[in-house]
Chain A
Amino acid sequence: MPDRRTTAVLDLSGLDALVEVLRGQGRTVVGPTVRDGAVVLAELDSARRLPFGWGTEVEAGRYRLVPRADGAAFAHTTGPQSWKAFLHPEREKLWSVDRGADGELSVTEERPPQPSYAFLGVRPCDLRAIAVQDRVLAGGRYPDSGYRERRVGAFLIAAECTEPGATCFCVSMGGGPGADAGFDLALTEVVDADGHRFRVRSGSDAGEEVLAAVPHHPDDPATGTAARSAVDAARERMGRAMPPVDLRALLAGSLEAERWDDVAARCLTCGNCTMVCPTCFCTTTEEVTDLTGDHAERWQRWDSCFDLDFSLLHGGPVRASGRSRYRQWLTHKLSTWYDQFGSSGCVGCGRCITWCPVGIDITEEAAALQAETSAGLPHDDREEPRR
């Protein structure tokens, strides 16, 4: 029997009902909402908490909310957080250990049942970022059990992009503003003379089931056309693009580029880019002991390759210079990630550009490396030694 995949239309009360149905299933519904001057991701008790009437204006190192007259809920671009904050949380207890009177150790992995999430408003770039983290954290020989439990339980509702930001470049990373796969439901927001509504497509049996429980209208040609043309238009309005070259090869061949000195002179090695990036997964561990000295806990927390201690060996950090740390970040994102996990580590969401305090732009850095490499090519062909 072929899987049923329904396309329908939700009005605003349908969106409300969607959140209610998901909450009724015991899910923690998380979505964008306005807080402290930004669109953040937080638990939603109702669809009314979505950022209706707010858009965003972004540039390298800049982000601000701007009111919108059309009342759209999903017309903002990616904010400072991503879904990894929920699937791969910033801090997580790995195990705890108790030492008995005879010195015996008893180790327990005590993870409470993980929330079963519903993510409302996942951008197509972030859907791809989730797929990237799936490969890293759950796709190898040792799947991360906590991540897998949260991920398997998560219900994903995509929101296709109709308002890309000035720092977005997903199209040049092989993605796009439309969602093709990897979701349970996908929404496309349409606001026009016929009203404010959401074209919805189911992408899984679970999505089909939820959609059936939500009052909806049948798909109609006007909504279908409006939704498709909004997404098509977004594809043409990407704020930025990566240079159209083999980025994996470019970065692999740029380890000694002079551009690293240039960017290192600007980079504060603050690690913001790694914190906001939806695919960055690196963690470190901490040992926490209580006052009795007989109870210890092992915690994992996000770490950044910009931290000096990240590469610490007994002789000191391997990557002591800012140059080597920026090179590690960009080379990992665009090149060595393929070697390690079979894809790029960048989905073109633009967060690292927006949230870099000094406005370092990875598309500009890649273009500069490309310019340096192609400028350098003729030299490689020269026969006589250069002095």
Chain B
Amino acid sequence: MTGVPVPYRVVRTRPETADTVSITLAPAGTAALAPFTPGRFAMVYAFGVGEIPVSVSRIGAGELVHTVRSVGAVSAALCALRPGDRVGLRGPFGTGWELPRAAGRDVLVVAGGIGLAPLRPLVLAALAAPDAHGRPNLLVGARTPGDVLYAKQLSDWAAGGGPLHCAVTVDRPSPTWRGRVGLVTELLNEAWFDPANTTAFVCGPEAMIRATARELVRRGLAPDRVRVSLERNMRCGTAHCGHCQLGGALLCRDGPVIGWDLARDLLTVREL
């Protein structure tokens, strides 16, 4: 084993959807993890329950935000945290989105469901450095309107006025939904990007990643400029437990963000 969890304190929690909570954490003592960059993840330890990998969904001064969807024992325990509670963190682990490598190019961010969480700090970083890139785009798909993360921030962005082109679509609308309905790939037509000079950042369910990456390549993006973030079971974060293998990749080390040039073959073999 490599390193033990560093205690962090829950500063605040914020429900995002019916099953998803954002948890803001700050070091509980003097020890703190090395700085995170967008796309990287921490192993988050819930006392007495266990540890799961969670990407950072916001990187603040001395604070980290993790957005967690309750799907198992550990994530349920994390979603139930109250301010003042403690967790343990190890990390940062994995590859990041590496926004600086997209310098000078249009930035196209495509998110499906909870996949928006690791992409949010990337969008914020792109907005913070407007001169480094072409126009930033954020396209978001969700199952239902109730599944849209960071809804307030998205509607502010989608209202326009800023440099970001933001659009949101859902698969199944509610009676009060007045936004778009359909697949996230359908939003590509209105996005502003030059396929020959764009880096895309994609995260969501695997079927959505596959469909989006294929469509982007069809539109002329180079496969290695379509960066996707993948998910597998992880127990250690340090490339020792073997669980996060996807073909020749160990996703905690070689991922979670990898190029579609590598991911394409790995995601087309069933049960790999």
Residues A268-306 near B (CB distance < 8 A): 281-285, 287, 289, 293, 296, 298, 300, 303, 305
Q: Is B186 an interface residue (CB 8 A)?
A: no
Q: Is A332 an interface residue (CB 8 A)?
A: yes
CB of A144 within 8 A of CB of B1, answer yes
**Residues of chain B contacted by A285 (CB below 8 angstroms):** 50-51, 235-236, 241
Instruction: Classify chain A: how many residues form its interface, as a range.
Output: 35 or more
B133 to chain A, nearest CB (A): 30
Cβ-neighbour of A336 out of B48, B247, B253 (below 8 A): B247
CA distance A296 to B269 in the complex (A): 40
CB of A324 within 8 A of CB of B272, answer yes
Q: Is B101 an interface residue (CB 8 A)?
A: no
**Residues of chain B contacted by A137 (CB below 8 angstroms):** 240
CA distance A107 to B249 in the complex (A): 31
Cβ-neighbour of A144 out of B2, B7, B47, B247 (below 8 A): B2
Residues A82-140 near B (CB distance < 8 A): 92, 94-95, 97, 99, 103-109, 136-137, 140
CB of A103 within 8 A of CB of B241, answer no
**Residues of chain A contacted by B4 (CB below 8 angstroms):** 94-95, 107-109
Query: Which of B80-88, B175-183, B189-197, B211-219 faces chain A?
Result: B80-88
Q: Is B11 an interface residue (CB 8 A)?
A: no
Cβ-neighbour of A282 out of B85, B88, B241 (below 8 A): B241
Interface centre among A105, A256, A303, A323 (most CB of B within 10 A): A105
Residues B204-235 near A (CB distance < 8 A): 231-233, 235
**Residues of chain B contacted by A323 (CB below 8 angstroms):** 271
**Residues of chain B contacted by A145 (CB below 8 angstroms):** 1-2
Contact A321/B271 with A103-B84, A145-B2 known, Cβ cut-off 8 Å: yes
**Residues of chain A contacted by B99 (CB below 8 angstroms):** none
Q: Is B250 an interface residue (CB 8 A)?
A: yes
A111 to chain B, nearest CB (A): 9
Question: Which residue of chain A has the shortest Cβ distance to B71 in the bound complex?
Answer: A314
Q: Is B248 an interface residue (CB 8 A)?
A: yes
CB of A340 within 8 A of CB of B49, answer no
Q: Is B152 an interface residue (CB 8 A)?
A: no
CB of B85 within 8 A of CB of A95, answer no
CB of A142 within 8 A of CB of B71, answer no
A280 to chain B, nearest CB (A): 8
Cβ-neighbour of A283 out of B51, B235, B248 (below 8 A): B235
Interface centre among A103, A284, A303, A323 (most CB of B within 10 A): A103
B64 to chain A, nearest CB (A): 16
CA distance A305 to B49 in the complex (A): 23
CB of B86 within 8 A of CB of A105, answer yes
CB of B50 within 8 A of CB of A336, answer no
CB of B231 within 8 A of CB of A142, answer no
Cβ-neighbour of A95 out of B1, B235, B253, B269 (below 8 A): B1
**Residues of chain A contacted by B87 (CB below 8 angstroms):** 105
CB of A142 within 8 A of CB of B245, answer no
**Residues of chain B contacted by A144 (CB below 8 angstroms):** 1-2, 238, 240
Q: Is A387 an interface residue (CB 8 A)?
A: no
CB of A296 within 8 A of CB of B271, answer no
CB of B235 within 8 A of CB of A142, answer no
Contact bitstring A165-201, B, C-beta under 8 A = 1, else 0: 0000000000000000000000000000000000000
Contact A107/B88 with A142-B238, A281-B240 known, Cβ cut-off 8 Å: yes
**Residues of chain B contacted by A313 (CB below 8 angstroms):** 231-233
B246 to chain A, nearest CB (A): 9
Contact A142/B85 with A104-B7, A107-B7, A311-B233 known, Cβ cut-off 8 Å: no
Residues A186-220 near B (CB distance < 8 A): none
B236 to chain A, nearest CB (A): 7
B94 to chain A, nearest CB (A): 11
Q: Is A63 an interface residue (CB 8 A)?
A: no
Q: Is A312 an interface residue (CB 8 A)?
A: yes
Question: Which residue of chain A has the shortest Cβ distance to B205 in the bound complex?
Answer: A315
**Residues of chain B contacted by A310 (CB below 8 angstroms):** 233, 243
Question: Which residue of chain A has the shortest Cβ distance to B93 in the bound complex?
Answer: A142
**Residues of chain B contacted by A348 (CB below 8 angstroms):** none
CB of A287 within 8 A of CB of B248, answer no
CA distance A318 to B45 in the complex (A): 23
CB of A320 within 8 A of CB of B269, answer no
CB of A293 within 8 A of CB of B269, answer no
**Residues of chain A contacted by B272 (CB below 8 angstroms):** 255, 318-319, 324, 328
Question: Which residue of chain B has the shortest Cβ distance to A305 in the bound complex?
Answer: B242
CB of B245 within 8 A of CB of A328, answer yes
Question: Which residue of chain A has the shortest Cβ distance to B238 in the bound complex?
Answer: A142
**Residues of chain B contacted by A382 (CB below 8 angstroms):** none
CA distance A289 to B77 in the complex (A): 15
Q: Is B33 an interface residue (CB 8 A)?
A: no
Question: Which residue of chain A has the shortest Cβ distance to B84 in the bound complex?
Answer: A103
Contact A283/B240 with A95-B5, A105-B47, A300-B1 known, Cβ cut-off 8 Å: yes
CB of B250 within 8 A of CB of A283, answer no
Contact bitstring A136-160, B, C-beta under 8 A = 1, else 0: 1100111111100000000000000
CB of B250 within 8 A of CB of A340, answer yes
CB of A104 within 8 A of CB of B242, answer no
Residues B43-66 near A (CB distance < 8 A): 45, 47-51
Contact A142/B2 with A104-B86, A105-B88, A255-B269 known, Cβ cut-off 8 Å: yes
**Residues of chain B contacted by A340 (CB below 8 angstroms):** 239, 245, 248-250
CA distance A188 to B10 in the complex (A): 62
Q: Is A384 an interface residue (CB 8 A)?
A: no
Contact A140/B253 with A104-B86, A283-B241, A296-B48 known, Cβ cut-off 8 Å: yes
Question: Apart from A95-B1, A289-B48, A298-B51, what 17 extra A-B contacts exist at CB < 8 Å?
Answer: A95-B4, A105-B47, A107-B4, A107-B6, A107-B7, A144-B2, A255-B269, A255-B272, A283-B236, A285-B235, A296-B47, A311-B233, A314-B71, A318-B271, A324-B270, A324-B271, A340-B249
Query: Could you list some 12 contacts between A and B, CB below 8 A?
Result: A94-B1, A95-B1, A105-B28, A105-B47, A105-B86, A146-B1, A255-B272, A313-B231, A319-B271, A321-B271, A323-B271, A328-B272
4 closest pairs, A vs B, by CB? A339-B248, A282-B242, A324-B271, A142-B238
